[in-house]
Amino acid sequence: MKPKHAGGRPTLYRRECCDQIVVAMATGLSAEAAAARIGISARSLFYWQRQHPEFLQAIQEGRQKSLLFWEELALEMAGGAPGNSQIVILALKNRSRAAYGWHHDAQRLEHSGPDGAPVAIEASTRNTIEVRSMSVEDRDALRGILLRAGARDEDQARIGHSEH
């Protein structure tokens, strides 16, 4: 008797896929882009990582090689080689986000006060300047601004007083 087929489409997974994905990722590609390069879907990529420990190991090796690709490119550019620094920064940032979870750089802000009440906003008409932490030059500049502002207020007060 012939063994019964489990059903569904037969897997495309072959041991050679491990080497292919590492080689593709070593050119700087993400795992998903490397999967497309070797002809598999992102769905297969994630499924194979769960089903085949050697494939998961290949993805981890590929991530290291992809990171190495981008870091070496950044170092070359730092040494004067031509290139697009914004692309390199984006690629390195995305490698970091992928490794630590895509949500790690998200921030959540609450826009309500205690128990869901509106946020209480206190308007302040006073600005405080910590003069002791200012440089001598900044203090001199501030003194000049305040003196000019005071003189202008006095001039306006005299003009307003003479009109009445």
Specify the pLDDT at position 28. 95
Distance between CA atoms of residues 108 and 83, nearest Å: 35
Domain that holds residue 37: 16-100
Q: How many CA atoms lie within 13 A of 111 on its CB side?
A: 1
Structure tokens at 163: 């009109």
Is 51 within the bounds of a domain? yes
pLDDT in tens, 95-150: 776 555 555 555 666 677 788 788 777 776 666 778 888 888 888 888 888 888 88
Instruction: Report the domain count for the chain.
Output: 1
Is 41 within the bounds of a domain? yes
Is 78 within the bounds of a domain? yes
Is 128 within the bounds of a domain? no
Is 120 within the bounds of a domain? no
Burial 39-66 (b: 16+ CB within 10 A, else e): ebeeebbeebbeebeebeebbebbbebb
The amino acid at residue 86 is Q
CATH of the domain at 31: 1.10.10
Is 25 within the bounds of a domain? yes
pTM for the predicted model, two decimal places: 0.56
Is 124 within the bounds of a domain? no
Specify the pLDDT at position 118. 81
Is 69 within the bounds of a domain? yes
Q: Which residue has the tokens 């600005």?
A: 127
